[in-house]
Amino acid sequence: MSGQLTQGGQESKQRPFFRTKTFSYLTDWVFVIIMGILWGLLGKLEPFHREFSLTDKTIMYPHKPDTITFGAAAAICSVIPLVAIIFLCILRHWRECSNAIRNKKHPYKFYHDLHIGILSFAVAMTMNLMFTNVVKNLAGRKRPDFIARCKPEAGSSDPTWGLSTNDVCTETDEYLMQDGQRSFPSGHSSFSFAGLGYMSFFIAGYFKLYDGRGFSHVAYLANFPLLFATYVALTRVSDYRHHWQDVFIGSLLGLGMAYFVYRIYYPPLGSDDAGEPYNRRCQNGEYNKKIDGNGSVSNGPMGRTPDSLLPAPVSSGLPTEEDDHHGQGYMHAPLEANRLSTTPLVPPQTYRQ
């Protein structure tokens, strides 16, 4: 069943929301699943075996336990941001929506905000994990504690004209050896900054940090997740798991990936619509329409038109169709020097959904 969509955003025949809109994001979720599977498979592959020197002091640090294990980092940097996203979506719904919407009579906007918040976070995390593992395997950089993992044979030395290979190692633990050759970039760092960095961007957008009012407490709140992400990254250096370059690049990778994905689903942090997700995808090229509380749609943030991705034309200040309905009729704009008279406005086009 199709519906009529006018310029005012009214829908004469509305199709069920979940039947017509939710499946437009199916490819996004398929992508999330594929990226997660690839990440797991890449962790099973053997990294590049880079030759090394037995006298290289940068890889002669002791092997010690992790201050923050990857499981703990995963729980902190994924569960906490996810809970924060859900909480802020519920809070926005409670603060801005009418009582009818709170009673779930028309929950369109809330479902969309919550869905996009969770989906975008999942995309950022899985994309970062997959990309990080690809680089780790290709680079094959030795960790600072690689010699301690390798346990070279007694009396081993580098060849006269060359470097040593893994053949001098006596360690039989396959995982320990492979993990010792995945130093660049730091997975803990990229994972922490992807998850907590995304949380920071989400908080900044939700509270409209860059709206010109200068609320410093919002800045502190938005930066607090980055502080913990920095702590996680620095423990990788103090644990002798990574060189400082690994941590630095991993942190940039995670933070950059978080913002890259955030901007796919949300407007810039400095825009008037900061923190509000781009609106639901529609058929027939009708993209980015704003969802009202009752489920009707109109032009969405960033001024995009109903039938294209181009910005909506700037208003000329001329009377609209609503004025004509009040008996004012279509009027002509004042004449300007060296310009022809304007033509009557064309009645708004009706869009079919």
Question: Does residue 235 register a pLDDT over 80?
Answer: yes
Least confident of 6-10, 137-141, 258-262: 6-10
pLDDT of residue 154: 85
pLDDT of residue 353: 39
200 domain-assigned = yes
CA–CA distance, 271 with 296 (Å, rounded to integer): 23
Report the number of distinct structural domains present in the chain: 1
- pLDDT tens digit string along 163-191? 999 999 999 999 999 999 999 999 999 99
What's phi and psi for 51, nearest 5 deg? -65, 155
334 domain-assigned = no
pLDDT of residue 280: 64
pLDDT of residue 57: 95
- pLDDT tens digit string along 124-145? 999 999 999 999 999 999 999 9
pLDDT of residue 116: 93
pLDDT of residue 126: 95
Q: Which of 117-121, 215-219, 290-294, 316-320 has the highest mean pLDDT?
A: 117-121
What is the rounded average pLDDT of the residues 105-120?
82
Nearest alpha-carbon partner for 140 in 107, 170, 177: 177
What is the rounded average pLDDT of the residues 109-122?
90
- pLDDT tens digit string along 72-84? 998 899 999 999 9
192 domain-assigned = yes
Q: What DSSP line would sit under 134-197, residue for residue? A: HHHHHH-PPPTTHHHHH-BPTT----TTS-B-GGGB----HHHHHHTT--SS-HHHHHHHHHHH
304 domain-assigned = no
Nearest alpha-carbon partner for 62 in 230, 184, 186, 238: 238
Q: Length of the chain, please?
A: 353
User: What is the model's pTM?
Assistant: 0.73
CA 169-170-176 angle, 5° bins: 80
The residue written with tokens 């796919």 in the block is 264
291 domain-assigned = no
Question: Does residue 3 register a pLDDT over 50?
Answer: no
- pLDDT tens digit string along 9-45? 444 445 544 444 557 788 899 999 999 999 989 888 9
What is the rounded average pLDDT of the residues 100-104?
52
Rg of the chain (C-alpha set): 28
The residue written with tokens 């700037």 in the block is 314
What is the rounded average pLDDT of the residues 256-280?
89
* Conformation bin of residue 236: beta by default, left when phi > 0, alpha when psi is -120 to 50: alpha
pLDDT of residue 93: 79
SS3 state of residue 311: strand
**Residue range(s) defining the domain that contains residue 255:** 22-265
What is the rounded average pLDDT of the residues 196-204?
96
297 domain-assigned = no
Question: Does residue 344 register a pLDDT over 80?
Answer: no
6 domain-assigned = no
118 domain-assigned = yes
Active-site residue set: 188, 242
